[in-house]
Structure 1
Amino acid sequence: MTLRERAGAVPPQTWLRASIGVATATIGLKTLAWWLTGSVGLLSDAMESLVNLASAIFALAMVRIALRPADAEHPYGHHKAEYFSSAFEGLAILVAALAILWTAVDRFLHPRGLEQVGVGLVLSVLASALNGLLAWGMLQSASVHRSMALEGDARHLVTDVWTSAGVVVGIGLVAFTGWLWLDAVVAAAVALNILREGGSLVWRSSQGLMDTQVEGAVQAQIEQVLQGLAHPAVRFDHITTRRAGSRRFVDMHMHVPADWTLRRAAALRASVEQALMGAVPGLRASIQLLPQDVEAHLDERKDAA
């Protein structure tokens, strides 16, 4: 089994629990690095780790809700709960970015020398290594489980790694050149970077809540299955898809000869649905039977009203 397969075999809840533990450890390391050096750049890095912790806790709660089975009030399940996790993480990032910018401006106006830079940078690099390893494993698992919450948390961790790398380089330049204002510039750059990431997460979660169509690769799989089941007397139309968290849904009409028995038509429909759901993990297929000479005209304007 490859490393990717091993990572994918781990359920999202386990990865998110690990994320909570790693976030707690990195907060300690980065806060100590800031306390030793007095660098506002390292302080901004520590503040982003606080967002990691809050986001991981919220993501774990949402994943648990998403795993609940369908019930009378939620016949399609609770899978969209993961999008709330991603939106929360994006908003938390935006708040952290604004706080960092405020701190950066204050430090720019009131520069201060740095102390014990070497030790502080070592602690920051160690924290980044932990985040990088965790993010890689979470991304592999997110692609297997199609978990928006897990992917959102992982991509935030990747951003945190790049942020820390920028902070390390910036603080190194401050120590080398003696230009204290660079510390504030680094913190501001960190804020702008995570501001961009936060906006991206909020946008992606909003698209998920808007019932967007399935990914291009999944759409191609559906079309391939239908082409493989092609029959001169059978045709498919009004094929619509949507995604909700880890679930994918496809609805369509299947036209069969009017003289077919209901048993024969229903048996074919069942085989098509099974073929689709077998080809696309997590897919739910729903097919409406219609005679070959009957068309279903959907009134989009009326439906929209």
Structure 2
Amino acid sequence: MPPNALQHLTPQRLLIASVGVALLTIALKTLAWHLTGSVGLLSDAMESLVNLASAVFGLVMVTVAARPADDDHPYGHHKAEYFSSGFEGILIIAAALGIVWAASGRLLAPQPLQQMDWGLALSVASSALNGLLAWVMFQAARVHRSIALEADARHLVTDVWTSAGVVLGLGLAVLTGWLWLDAAVAIGVALNILKEGVHLIWRSAQGLMDEAVPPEQLARLQAVLDRFARPDGSVRFDHLHTRQAAQRCYLDVHMHLPPDWTLAHAAELRGEVERALMQAVEGLRATIELLPDGVEAHFHGQEGPP
């Protein structure tokens, strides 16, 4: 999909679409479970309920994140997206535990399955919808640098794999007559989505703890600073620190200059460096502290003694 088209697909619009798709898939998968009596399809429907709750919460958090900076939040509200990702991870874990609980009884006492053709057809149709939406959301997440969109897309992909596993397990159960496969597949699906939930919570925690920018972005930033640094050391950079805040990332660095430079000359060079840094990494906000050569700041942006 062209990037220009994705610009119009804002996180809010895509999450509204996610809510609509979740409602439709809940209806399809619940009907599939009702027709077949399969606990695997029941687990699939429960996963779609989590999709709905996650999409609604994600929509609220993305709306909050889009608010401009104010007196109480001078750096903006971008970190609200991490709450969406963390909440989605918690819901995924809850769904996984619920699936295990529902499937355990059927594992010990398998039940006959009915109207498998209609049930499987409905499950496949709902998975196709989720897969298409996830594909669009992954692309839009890269364009908008939205962890909330990425989290929802990952969850939708998890739902697709859940449905694929359920369909495979039910097919094998019908072919072999081993009805316990229905519950076994449901438990296997639960363990898979449990891993995805833990991953989302971990990513959210890292973001809330001001994780540094990824290595590839840091390398681009360092390349810019190296381009402006002078071989004789009269212009050099040190104490580089970065942090991420969802769509925004921040950089702090010291720029050492010859002590006989005028303030206007120093400010001009700093402006050039800031523009180059922000061009290298989209969404960057750079803070450069000017220091005369031979002078070090007492506070280097770290807790405790140097």
TM-score range, shorter chain: over 0.9
1:214 CA drift (Å): 0.3
Q: What is the aligned-residue RMSD (CA, Å)?
A: 1.5
Give distance in 2, aligned partners of 1:301 and 1:251.
15
Cα deviation for residue 176 of structure 1 reads 1.1
- What corresponds to 1:52 in structure 2? 51
- The separation in 1 between residues aligned to 2:46 and 2:120, in whole angstroms, is 16
Distance 1:124 1:143 in 2: 29
Superposition deviation, residue 9 in structure 1: 4.5
Q: How does 1:84-163 map to 2 (within 5 A)?
A: 84-163=83-162
CA distance in structure 2 between the aligned counterparts of 1:12 and 1:207, rounded to whole angstroms? 22
What residue is the counterpart of 2:242 in the other structure?
241
- Aligned mates of 1:215, 1:24 — CA distance in 2: 36
Instruction: Name whichever of 269-278 and 282-291 sits farther off.
Output: 269-278
8 Å Cα contact 1:239/1:251 also seen in 2: yes
Which of 293, 302, 305 does residue 304 from structure 2 map onto? 302
> TM-score w.r.t. structure 2 length?
0.95
CA 1:143 to 1:251, structure 2 compared with 1: closer, same or farther past 3 Å? same
**Does the 8 A contact of 1:250 with 1:284 survive in 2?**
yes
- Give CA-to-partner distance per residue, 1:228-249, whole Å, 9 cap, x none: 2233421111010000011010
For 1:292 and 1:78, the matched residues in 2 are separated by 37
Q: Distance in 2 between matches of 1:3 and 1:254?
A: 39
CA distance in 2, matches of 1:228, 1:192: 49
Offset at 1:280? 1.5
Equivalences for 1:144-223 in 2 at 5 Å? 144-223=143-222
Distance 2:73 2:159 in 1: 36
Structure 2, unaligned runs of 5 or more: none
Alignment partners' CA distance in 2, 1:188 and 1:4? 39
Alpha-carbon distance, 1:180 to partner: 1.1
2-structure distance, mates of 1:6, 1:174 = 44
Task: Describe the superposition over 1:42-65 as per-residue Cα deviations: whole angstroms up to 9, x where unpaired.
Answer: 000000000000000000100011
Deviation at 1:108, TM superposition (A): 1.6
Counterparts of 1:65 and 1:18, CA distance in 2: 18
CA distance in 2, matches of 1:279, 1:301: 29
TM-score (norm 1): 0.96
Find the residue that maps to 2:213 and give its secondary structure.
coil
Distance in structure 1 (CA, Å) of the matches to 2:70 and 2:85: 24
Aligned equivalents of 2:150, 2:17: Cα separation in 1 = 14
1:7–1:138 Cα contact (<8 Å) kept: no
**Bigger mean CA deviation after superposition, 220-229 or 28-37:** 220-229
Helix, strand or coil: the match of 2:304? helix
The number of equivalent residue pairs is: 303
For 1:68 and 1:35, the matched residues in 2 are separated by 43
Using the TM superposition, give the Cα deviation of residue 275 of structure 1 relative to its aligned residue in structure 2, in angstroms: 1.6
Cα distance in 2 for partners of 1:88, 1:286 equals 32
Give yes or no for contact 2:35–2:115 (8 Å, CA) kept in 1. yes
Structure 1: 5+ residue runs without aligned partners? none
Amino acid at match of 1:110: A
Runs of 4+ in 1 over 6 A off after TM superposition: none
Give the secondary-structure state (helix, strand or coil) at the position aligned to 1:302: coil
1:118-150 alpha-carbon deviations (Å, 9 max, x no partner)? 110011000000000100110011111111100
Task: Give the deviation of 1:274 after TM superposition.
Answer: 1.5
Alpha carbons 2:65, 2:76 under 8 Å: kept: yes
Aligned residue identity for 1:234: V
Deviation string, structure 1 residues 168-200 (Cα, Å, up to 9, x no partner):
000111111111111110111111111111111
The answer for the alignment partner of 2:264 in structure 1 is 263
- Asked whether the 8 Å contact 1:9–1:141 carries over to 2, the reply is no
1:298, distance to aligned residue in structure 2 (A): 3.8
> Secondary structure at 1:111's aligned position in 2?
coil
